[in-house]
């Protein structure tokens, strides 16, 4: 299917072919059995299940530039500056400590790991003394290599009013550059990772798929509906529900798959 490739699984001692969404950094536009295609250097996709090469964007730590031949290039930010959103147009300096949460994009986690010590804080380590210490910090306590005197957070992040922390927008929300808060995705849609910065990062939730007239490579116009009877979709993304269930040979999924529940199996109809 579009945005997915077939993989074989051994279920109950039977080989079952299952559609899996294209991994990060890959895409597939048609419904052939071919594998997903990789994006270029310094590029990735905003989530799994990408269906078009246009969904390949410059990864964090780089900025987008167009070459004379019209192709896209991704340039690394200069020392002392950073780009913490995908497909960024400029690198900037930020007086902030960035809070790490489990739902961040792997490329973003890796990039934040290259920052100087003290620029990140893992949310799972918070306790009362840590929070008190953070609330007492000022911009002058942060690295002198960041010369910008104002405390701002990059797109996809929101500032903590009581400290110099930048918190990532939660799953299902995003914050573009000109917004003062994280905005919710449309109904039946969510984001695949925290710290999303654009409505284009909103995709169909688990158990939902784009309507036939929606353009999967333009999420702002996508409408998501529940999987049809006998099909299911266990991960988020703008790709089709799978008619291949995890049921044993001779059985099939019964009814529409409900998010958060097991697939219900029953005998195949005669014929």
Residue 195: its pLDDT value, please? 92
Q: What is the pLDDT of residue 139?
A: 40
Per-residue pLDDT of the chain (271 residues; tens, 9 = 90+): 678 887 776 766 766 667 788 888 999 988 888 889 999 888 998 888 888 888 888 999 998 877 777 677 888 988 888 888 888 888 888 878 888 888 999 999 999 888 877 788 887 766 666 555 555 544 444 333 333 345 678 889 888 766 678 888 989 999 988 887 889 999 999 999 999 998 988 999 999 988 866 544 444 468 899 988 777 788 888 877 876 545 556 666 565 545 444 556 667 777 5
Q: In sequence order, which residues have a C-beta less than 8 Å from that of residue 88 and are 6 or more positions away?
A: 58, 60, 62, 63, 64
- Cα 99 from Cα 219, distance rounded (Å): 27
- What pLDDT was estimated at residue 62? 92
* pLDDT of res. 11: 67
What does the alpha-carbon distance between residue 168 and residue 172 come to, in Å, rounded to a whole number? 12
Total Cβ atoms within 10 A of residue 103: 14
Residue 144: predicted pLDDT: 33
pLDDT value for 191: 92
User: What's residue 178's pLDDT?
Assistant: 82
pLDDT score of 260: 42
Indicate the pTM of the whole model.
Answer: 0.70
Distance CA 234, CA 53 (A): 24
- Residue 4's SS3 state is strand
**What is the distance between the alpha carbons of residues 22 and 4, in angstroms, rounded to a whole number?**
5
Can you tell me the distance from the alpha carbon of 112 to that of 110, in angstroms, rounded to the nearest whole number? 6
């Amino acid at each position: 299917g579009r945005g997915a490739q077939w993989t074989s699984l051994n279920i109950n001692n039977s080989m079952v072919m299952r559609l899996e969404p294209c991994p990060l950094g890959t895409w597939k536009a048609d419904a052939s059995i071919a594998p997903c295609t990789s994006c270029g250097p310094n590029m990735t996709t905003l989530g799994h299940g990408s269906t078009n090469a246009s969904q390949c964007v410059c990864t964090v730590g780089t900025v987008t530039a167009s070459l004379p031949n019209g192709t896209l290039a991704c340039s690394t930010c200069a020392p002392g500056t950073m780009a913490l959103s995908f497909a960024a147009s400029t690198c900037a300096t930020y007086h902030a400590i960035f809070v790490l949460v489990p739902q961040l994009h792997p490329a973003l986690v890796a990039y934040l790991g290259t920052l100087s010590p003290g620029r990140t804080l893992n949310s799972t380590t918070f306790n009362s003394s840590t929070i008190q210490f953070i609330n007492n910090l000022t911009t002058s306590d942060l690295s002198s290599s960041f010369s910008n005197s104002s405390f701002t957070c990059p797109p996809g992040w929101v500032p903590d009013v009581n400290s110099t922390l930048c918190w990532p927008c939660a799953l299902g929300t995003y914050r573009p550059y000109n917004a003062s808060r994280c905005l919710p995705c449309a109904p039946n849609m969510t984001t695949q990772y925290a710290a999303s910065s654009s409505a284009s990062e909103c995709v169909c939730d688990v158990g939902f798929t784009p309507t036939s007239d929606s353009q999967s490579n333009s999420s702002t116009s996508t409408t998501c509906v529940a999987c049809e009877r006998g099909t299911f979709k266990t991960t988020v993304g703008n790709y089709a529900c799978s008619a291949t269930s995890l049921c044993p040979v001779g059985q099939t999924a019964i009814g529409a798959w409900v998010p958060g529940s097991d697939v219900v199996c029953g005998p195949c109809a005669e014929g």
